[in-house]
Amino acid sequence: MSIQIQSLEQYREVYQKSVADPEGFWAEQASSFQWRKPWRQVLKWNFREPNVKWFVGGRLNITENCLDRHLETRGKQTALIWEPNDPKQKARKITYKQLYGQVCQFANALKAEGVKKGDRVCIYMPMVPELTVAVLACARIGAIHSVVFAGFSAVSLSDRIKDAECTVVLTSDFNARGVKNIPVKQVVDEALAMGCESVTKVIVQKNTGDPLKMVEGRDIWWHDVIKGKRKTCKATIVDSEDPLFILYTSGSTGKPKGVVHTQGGYMVYTEYTFRNVFQYQDGDIYWCTADVGWITGHSYIIYGPLLAGATTMMFEGVPTFPDPGRFWDVIQRHKVNIFYTAPTAIRALMAAGDQWVKGRRMPSLRVLGTVGEPINEEAWHWYNERVGKKRCPIVDTWWQTETGGIMISPLAGITPLKPCLATLPLPGIQPCLVDAAGNEIEGNDVEGMLCIKYPWPSIIRTTYGDHERCRTNYFAAFKDKYFTGDGARRDADGYYRIIGRVDDVINVSGHRIGTAEVEDAINKTPGVVESAVVGYPHDIKGQGIYAYVITGDAISDPDAFKKQILDVVTKEIGPIAKPDKIQLVPGLPKTRSGKIMRRILRKIAEGDVSNLGDISTLLNPEVVEDIKEGAGL
């Protein structure tokens, strides 16, 4: 096991050590894992290209560390609790021994279907236990998993399959979410009809069991492929720097990019952060409500907890089904000790009223966590008082898809808290704030753009198929620094408060959405000439999506037209990217060089036009009045 920090004093001491001797620090953390061949060198790096390698020359298999090494000591312990969408259905509990057997069996099935080390496997599945089995089975044989959130549209899925040239797609028949039964496999059919030539096989897990069309020669049932397969499978030993997975995420420009994480560093970092941030104790029941389709699910439903030998819970449903007391009911029933969720869920449940949480007895709860977006004071206090009964520390964990694991966060019960602050960097993490010119801002009580100036083991290695994009996105803005895209404040005590994105990325309910992507989708609607999308404060979602749209001919039925725009966005990206507000405008404010002045559009979307700044230099200043009027301001 890696270190587990016990006190603030020890935190400070370990932090200093991790900065003075990073390689020594990380070698110590890595040494507790099962390596098939030790590393020659802890770290090789430059942020110029970038080229970062951890535990160079080391060989391993991450699933041996998640599963095999626990069999002797905790084979009978529950590894996974699955809470189904329908509360009347019984939860499923899977022990480490059983999970090992299922992973091996499915790994053998993948091999039989021709999947080899380095092949990309797309996983488009709802939150069922087989999703975890699928992820680990890929890792077992050295295949690279690319999980796509099952709420994305066929177009998005198809783009991701093509970009990674996946050979196999793993899916389920349907996705049971609240009262809905979403035809997931049908989305795969539609995606593959858009020319994903690399795909030869689709393996379908039977979830709800409703009738389904299977494509002869391509589609196979999960229960058929595992028939007769052995429940042991020799792990494929891979290099520390071989890719483990690709996960697509939105940036400020173009299509989502495939963030690549590799084996050794990701393993060390997710286990270390899981145990330290949540102060995990042997025997704890841990529940992270994220979806495995996002990085939080990868790192803190699957890998981190299983590496630490924890009992991790997966929830198939939604927080409000059958009623807004569902989370609290599940915590009470399963005696959850550590609960990790997103501010947007807290706000939604808070808005549903206190009656849903009031009568619940949740004495098992010890640690609460949040992730994905800044939490507001009201939600923080409600979480603390109503859920944690003022006796559970809240860890506000800041990190990103690209960082692989939690970077800035309190250590539960150790770091003195301040509401809504991510507080201090974990040992091994060296954040800094820079100004627009790239100068580091020293001292406290300052604000700037958040960068990290030294590599950590689970840093992004590349963007799949386009290394230059990785360089320009993260390493080109400031010399020798990884740029996060976030703005932050360091207060008088050196605590960090994350302010939010400083680029054209909107954080909607903790999901990253690029404005360019939404604009591209809107522009595909017949009749749309141009559009501009900005974020604006939203009570539940944190940020909402506000779209300004220029149309060609006069629109006779604006409501029907807006509905059409929403349909196109749903088809191109998915329901999560649907604009909350659409305003039809005669023009967009532009600079003389043709750049859209988003600053002005943001202000109008916020409803604050008291200080729009100098608009006289615009190409078309008159359009600002029209837009203000259209917005009712």
Stretch that binds ligand PRX, among 85-93, 264-272, 480-488, 518-526 (CB under 6 A): 480-488
Which lies closer to ligand PRX via its Cβ, residue 140 or residue 298? 298
Choices 75-83, 169-177, 316-324, 499-507 (CB under 6 A): range interacting with ligand PRX: 499-507
204-243 footprint of ligand PRX as x/- string (CB under 6 A)? ----------------------------------------
**Residue choice 151, 369, 374, 579 for contact with ligand PRX (CB under 6 A):** 374
Closer residue to ligand PRX in complex, CB, 52/498: 498
Nearer to ligand PRX, 207 or 289 (CB): 289
Site string for ligand PRX, 61-100 (x = CB under 6 A): ----------------------------------------
Residue 284: CB minimum distance to ligand PRX, A = 21
Residue 380, CA distances (Å) to 341, 350, 487, 497, 498 in order: 12, 10, 20, 14, 14
Cβ of residue 496: shortest distance to ligand PRX, in angstroms?
9
Chain residue whose CB lies nearest ligand PRX? 401
Residue 334 sits in the site that holds ligand PRX (CB under 6 A): no
Binding piece for ligand PRX, criterion CB under 6 A, among 232-240, 376-384, 387-395, 481-489: 481-489
Minimum distance, C-beta of residue 342 to ligand PRX, in the bound complex (Å)? 8
Distance from the first to the final alpha carbon of the chain: 59
**CB-wise, 96 or 248, nearer to ligand PRX?**
248
Nearer to ligand PRX, 262 or 401 (CB): 401
Query: Which residues fall within 8 angstroms of residue 602, CB to CB, at 6 or more apart?
Result: 534, 535, 536
Identify the helix (H) or strand (E) that includes residue 177: strand 175-177
CA distance 314 to 84: 8
Q: Give me the 289-328 binding string for ligand PRX, x by CB under 6 A, dash otherwise.
A: ------xx--------------------------------
Q: Pick between residue 304 and residue 485 the one whose CB is nearest to ligand PRX.
A: 485
Rounded distance, CA 45 to CA 53, Å? 6
Within 13 A of 100's CA, how many CA atoms are on the CB side? 23
Least distance from C-beta 488 to ligand PRX, angstroms?
A: 9
| Member of 109, 137, 176, 498 binding ligand PRX (CB under 6 A) | 498
Q: Is 583 exposed, middle or buried (0-12, 13-18, 19+ CB in 10 A)?
A: middle
Do residues 126 and 175 lie in contact, with contact meaning Cβ atoms separated by under 8 Å? Answer: yes
Which parts of 568-587 interact with ligand PRX (CB under 6 A)? none
User: Interface with ligand PRX includes 546 (CB under 6 A)?
Assistant: no
DSSP state of 291: -
Q: Say whether 248 sits in a helix, a strand or coil.
A: strand
DSSP state at residue 577 = G
Touching ligand PRX, residues 5-34 (CB under 6 A): none
CB of 187 or CB of 452, closer to ligand PRX: 452
What x-and-dash track marks residues 419-448 binding ligand PRX by CB under 6 A?
---x--------------------------
Q: What is the DSSP string of 428-497?
A: T--EEEE-TTS-B--SSSEEEEEEE-S--TT---EETT-HHHHIIIIISSSTT-EEEEEEEEE-TTS-EE
Q: For residues 145 and 135, what is the distance between their CA atoms, to the nearest angstrom?
A: 6
Three-state DSSP string of 372-429: CCCCCHHHHHHHHHHHCCCCCCEEEEECCHHHCCCCECCCCCCCCCCCCCCECECCCC
| 373 touches ligand PRX by CB under 6 A | yes
Q: How far is the CB of 421 from ligand PRX (least distance, A)?
A: 9
Instruction: Give the residue with the Cβ less far from ligand PRX, 395 or 414.
Output: 395
Query: Binding pattern to ligand PRX, positions 40-59, x when CB under 6 A?
Result: --------------------
Of 399, 454, 478, 495, the residue at the interface with ligand PRX (CB under 6 A) is 399
Q: How far is the CB of 405 from ligand PRX (least distance, A)?
A: 9
The piece of 51-59, 333-341, 365-373, 383-391 that touches ligand PRX (CB under 6 A) is 365-373
Which among 86, 306, 290, 319 is positioned nearest to 207, based on CA atoms? Answer: 86
Asked if residue 473 binds ligand PRX (CB under 6 A), the reply is no
Asked whether position 396 contacts ligand PRX by CB under 6 A, the answer is yes
Q: Are 382 and 346 in contact (CB under 8 A)?
A: yes
**Considering only CA atoms, which of 26, 38, 24, 94 is closest in space to residue 66?**
94
The answer to whether 596 and 588 are in contact (CB under 8 A) is yes
Give 181-239 as a DSSP string.
Answer: EE-HHHHHHHHHTTT-TT--EEEEE-SS-------TTTEEEHHHHTTT--S--PPPPEE
- Smallest distance, Å, CB 420 to ligand PRX? 8
Number of CB atoms found within 10 A of residue 261's CB: 29
The site for ligand PRX, by CB under 6 A, has a size of 22
Nearest Cα to 86, choosing from 276, 316, 289? Answer: 316
Which residue lies nearer to ligand PRX by CB, 99 or 246? 246
Site for ligand PRX contains 398 (CB under 6 A): yes
- Residue 557, classified by CB atoms within 10 Å of its CB into exposed (0-12), middle (13-18) or buried (19+), is exposed
305, 457, 485, 544: residue in contact with ligand PRX (rule CB under 6 A): 485
| Segment contacting ligand PRX by CB under 6 A, of 154-162, 272-280, 423-431, 500-508 | 500-508
Tokens of 373: 């977006």
State the residue for tokens 């709802």. Answer: 126
> What DSSP letter does each residue of 293-357 carry, written as one string?
TSHHHIIIIIIHHHHTT-EEEEE-S-TTSS-TTHHHHHHHHHT-SEEEE-HHHHHHHHHT-THHH
Site for ligand PRX, residues 241 to 260, rule: CB under 6 A: 249
Contacts of residue 467, defined as CB under 8 A and 6 or more positions apart, other chains included, come to 49
Greatest alpha-carbon pair distance for the chain in Å reads 74
Least distance in angstroms from the C-beta of 296 to ligand PRX:
5
Phi/psi of residue 271, nearest 5 degrees: -70, -45
Closest approach of ligand PRX to the CB of residue 319, in Å: 17
Q: What is the closest distance, in whole angstroms, from the C-beta atom of residue 594 to ligand PRX in the complex? A: 28
Torsion angles phi and psi, residue 565, rounded to 5 = -60, -45
Q: Which residue in 53, 74, 334, 512 binds ligand PRX (CB under 6 A)?
A: 512
Q: Which of 130, 486, 504, 517 binds ligand PRX (CB under 6 A)?
A: 486
Residue 456 touches ligand PRX, criterion: CB under 6 A = no
* Binding residues for ligand PRX (CB under 6 A): 249, 295-296, 371-374, 396-401, 422, 484-486, 498, 500-501, 507, 512
